[in-house]
A = this chain, B = another copy of it.
Amino acid sequence: MSIKTYAQAIRDVIAEEMRKNDKVFIMGEDIAKQGGIFGCTRGLLDEFGSERVRNTPISEAGFVGAGIGAACAGMRPIVELMYMDFTYVSMDQLLNQAAKIRYMFGGKATVPMVIRGQQGIGRGNGGQHSQCVEQFFMHIPGMKVAMPSSPSDAAGLLRTAIRDNNPVMFFEHKALYATKGEVPDDPEFAIPFGKANVLKEGKDVTIIGTHLYASKAMNVAKTLEAEGIDVEVIDPRTLVPMDTETMINSVKKTGRAVVVHEAHRTGGPGAEIASIITEGAFKYLDAPVIRLGAKQCTLPFNLGLENAVVPQEDDIIRAVKAVLYQ
């Protein structure tokens, strides 16, 4: 085990996989000399050279597409999007091309590509640089969706992503980059997709939280423990594939659930998860699942407004109490 930040964990896995497999390369804006504006590719240029660590022009559709083509031609590209908001300028290459190639062309092609980058609030980047966009990739089939919530998950899920033969959307969170945690030194350490992480067992209520909200859910669980409420906390880890079984079984036990994420609440991942739970554990539910997510307004710049838009720990606590005592 080593103590690493989330950003370092990502960097190290990229480096290790590039060392092991010369098909792996990385491209994106400012990833070479600059090492990525969040430092996730620091030092890679020196070690691997400018062929395998490629600065791209600002043309996301072009270089995401180039990643797809390279993957079709036998390489294993990692494409960094500086902000996941820029999926919007490359959406066609992502959802009409990468996601569809294998199936639409009859199941022979493989597109082993990772699209990674960060999203979310926390740095006052305003409405066009703070969105959580995982929902699009849950809804349109063809790409896997990973949401690491800790340095160790970042490492383990990224290794799985790079080795996966399908296109993977790998969502990092800007507010997690500096968080530290233990990461296994095993260069084969990988976390399987589609297996949720039960961060804490509990019997009274289940909180399902993704990304930032995995740790916030843990904080809430601790707070509520003092009040005698025993919370089970689940981090789905990947949304595609989704470990519905773990979530349903948890709610069969607790009878109550809160789902919380930073993406907008309406039509967000929480709607899907709440529906899955309701379908799978209806008879066990003592209250409807409560969903928490960002309000339906553009993410504002001002810190106070930003916090007013996304769920706070207090909101989660209130939601837990609502599902418990209604």
Q: Name the distance in Å between A297's Cβ and chain B's nearest Cβ.
A: 6
B138 touches A298 (CB 8 A): no
Residues on B with C-beta less than 8 A from A127 are 96, 100, 103-104
Asked if A191 is an interface residue, CB under 8 A from chain B, the answer is no
Chain A interface residue count: which class?
A: 35 or more
Q: A274-B278, A282-B287, A287-B282 are in contact. Are A264 and B141 (CB under 8 A)?
A: yes
Contact B298 A266 (CB under 8 A): no
Contact residues in B for A267 (Cβ distance below 8 Å): 135, 138-139, 267, 269, 271-272
A144: min CB distance to chain B, Å: 12
B268 to A139, Cβ gap below 8 A?
yes
CA distance A131 to B87 in the complex (A): 18
B298:A288 contact, CB within 8 angstroms: no
In this assembly, does A202 line the interface, its C-beta being within 8 Å of a C-beta of chain B?
no
Q: Given the complex of chains A and B, what is the CA–CA distance between A140 and B132 in angstroms?
A: 10
A289 adjacent to chain B (CB < 8 Å): yes
Which residues on B sit within 8 Å (CB–CB) of A264? 139-141
Supposing A272-B266, A282-B287 touch, asked if A141 and B103 sit within 8 A by C-beta, the answer is no
Chain B residues whose CB sits within 8 angstroms of the CB of A96 once the complex forms: 85, 88, 127-128
State whether B139 touches A135 (Cβ < 8 A).
yes
Neighbour of A298 across the interface among B91, B141, B272, CB < 8 A: B141
Q: Which B residues touch A279, using CB under 8 A?
A: 288, 290-291
Closest to A138 in B: B267
A61 CB to closest chain B CB, in angstroms?
A: 8
Complex CA distance for A298 and B140, rounded to whole angstroms: 8
Give every chain B residue within 8 A of A278 (Cβ-Cβ): 274-275, 278, 288-289
A35 contacts B by Cβ under 8 Å? no
By beta carbon, the residue of chain B nearest A280 is B288
**0 or 1 for each of A248-289: is its CB under 8 Å from B? (1 = yes):** 000000000000000110111111101100110010010111
* Chain B: minimal CB distance from A256 (Å): 12
A263 to B87, CA, bound (A): 20
Given A288-B279, A288-B282, residue A266 in contact with residue B138 (CB < 8 A)? yes
- 26 residue pairs A–B, Cβ–Cβ below 8 Å: A88-B92, A88-B96, A100-B127, A100-B128, A100-B298, A103-B127, A103-B297, A104-B298, A136-B136, A138-B267, A139-B267, A140-B264, A142-B298, A266-B272, A267-B269, A267-B272, A271-B271, A271-B275, A275-B291, A278-B278, A278-B288, A278-B289, A279-B290, A279-B291, A282-B285, A282-B287
